[in-house]
Structure 1
Amino acid sequence: MMVEYTLFPLCEYAVTVRFADCIDEAVNEVVHGTAARLEAEKKEGIEEIVPAFSSLTIYYDPLVIDYIGIGAWLRKNIRRSEQAARRLARTVVIPVCYGGEFGPDLSDVARFHGMTENEVVTLHSTGRYRVYMIGFSPGFAYLGGLSPRLATPRRPVPRTKVPAGSVGIAGGQTGVYPLATPGGWQLIGRTPLKLFDPRRAEPSLLAAGDIVEFQPIDAKEFARWREEHD
């Protein structure tokens, strides 16, 4: 099967392979399938392969391999029909305490859509979300699959510090802040789970291709979870 792509230099030590200009599950499957094949055929000078929504970036050592060499390596491997083995997608259930101090923007999101807060929580927590990529900060998963009925603009003024574990909405996406960072997403809840922990063998709880489901919990369950797992 011929895979259509566009190759262009990103800088003197990186090139980007673009498959499309949209956020689409089928395209994302091509991205990660291709990344897996390239990892399996990695050659000297290739340092890192980073998949994104609809593209992947290859970082390389320009003293070992150049742009032309990268192009030849891609032509040899990117269009092969055989599929490299990929990790089966996991389903990760993330408990979330919605609203109150944990979700200060829940009422604004509900008002924006003419819903009650409970309707927003029900719609958000019954969704099934795909991890398209990890980026922005360590362990931050960009999730696709948010209901269009919940798509909400970012806050006009970002917060200087968003607590770790905060669950937010920005445009047509939802996500969880793994670390305390600035951010402008609409915060509707918080999870007691640690999305990123450098002490773990796999520091990021989520990986591209995972499926995420959110499970509502109350404040007592949140506190109990924290006490048991901290």
Structure 2
Amino acid sequence: MAPQATDMALASPTLIPLGDSALLVRFGNDLSEAANFAAIALARRLIADPLPGVVEVSPNLVSVLLRYDPMRTSFAELTGEVRLRTYSMGGAASASGSVARHRIAITFGGEAGPDLDAVAASLGLSAADFIKAHNAVPLRVLSTGFSPGFLYCGFHPAALVVSRRSDVRASVPAGSVLFAAGQTAIAATAIPTGWHLIGHTKLRNFNPHANPPTQVRAGDEVVFEAAP
């Protein structure tokens, strides 16, 4: 476990009803460090200290989805409680104490990562220099989702930002390491993707028979290293 203490400005969230039993708390329209951190901080607070009637708390990249029982609370009551919780954060999203750190070994390039050379070349780097830069600093898990156990990890520096592929692969296997938009993602199941496939890892962040079914969660820290 690695200690972490961070403060970031907490924007006033937009509260959006989803049907008659869900509330979306959104901290931004675009992905940013501050909006992502605020979403994770609020979700962790609501999981640790649940609101009455809320049956699920699910953080996303810049938002938190709250599913609630309309027999136990209402949209108006829930939005009031959420505003109180965000206000009580004192204008900042703060996370302190222990955050899980995960070391993830990656087999880069070759059949495991057929896009590695092209990605490195687009950045003016050799494959070896790209791998070194990719693994240089720990990243934060920005969100899980899209497919079961899927990890979004960021942010890489601006010098490593590339756009997504122009075409979509019909399927990549579980354990695929994907790269685009200043992030590295890891697929826990076979999925289609328009991200660049740069490697493969033995990590499988989804086990439907485990409780919880995922090992790595939003807000955790990941350290990437090249597999021997």
The TM-score range, normalised by the shorter chain, is 0.7 to 0.9
The structural deviation recorded for 1:130 is 0.4
Q: How many Å separate the matches in 1 of 2:70 and 2:203?
A: 41
Residue number in structure 2 paired with 1:165: 175
Q: How many Å separate the matches in 1 of 2:10 and 2:209?
A: 42
1:46 pairs with 2:82? no
Q: What amino acid maps onto 1:198 in structure 2?
A: P
Q: How many Å separate the matches in 2 of 1:2 and 1:188?
A: 34
The structural deviation recorded for 1:44 is 4.1
Instruction: Say what the alpha-carbon RMSD is for the aligned residues.
Output: 2.5
Residue number in structure 1 paired with 2:217: 207
Aligned 1:58-97 pairs, distance under 5 A: 58-81=66-89, 88-97=98-107
Name whichever structure is richer in strand by fraction. 2
Q: How many Å separate the matches in 2 of 1:167 and 1:73?
A: 39
1:150 pairs with 2:160? yes
Q: How many Å separate the matches in 2 of 1:178 and 1:208?
A: 15
Who wins on radius of gyration, i.e. which is larger? 1
8 Å CA contact 2:10–2:34 kept in 1: the answer is no
Q: What amino acid maps onto 1:178 in structure 2?
A: A
Runs of 5+ in structure 1 lacking a partner?
Answer: 219-230
Q: How many Å separate the matches in 2 of 1:188 and 1:123?
A: 14
Aligned 1:181-196 pairs, distance under 5 A: 181-196=191-206
**Structure 1 residues 79, 2: CA separation in 2 closer, same or farther (over 3 Å shift)?**
farther
Q: How many Å separate the matches in 1 of 2:95 and 2:162?
A: 37
Q: What TM-score comes out, normalization by structure 1 length?
A: 0.83
Q: What TM-score comes out, normalization by structure 2 length?
A: 0.84
8 Å CA contact 1:128–1:145 kept in 2: the answer is no
The structural deviation recorded for 1:40 is 4.2
Q: How many Å separate the matches in 1 of 2:78 and 2:211?
A: 31
Residue number in structure 2 paired with 1:56: 64
Residue number in structure 1 paired with 2:5: none
Secondary structure, in 3 states, of the residue corresponding to 1:34?
Answer: helix
Q: What amino acid maps onto 2:63 in structure 1?
A: S
Q: String of CA shifts for 1:51-82, please: whole Å, max 9, x gaps.
A: 12222121112343222122232244332248
Residue number in structure 2 paired with 1:221: none
1:177 pairs with 2:183? no
Q: String of CA shifts for 1:124-165, please: whole Å, max 9, x gaps.
A: 122321001111111111111213222222222211110111
The alignment covers a number of residue pairs equal to 218
When structure 1 is superposed on structure 2, of 101-110 and 3-12 the one drifting more is 3-12
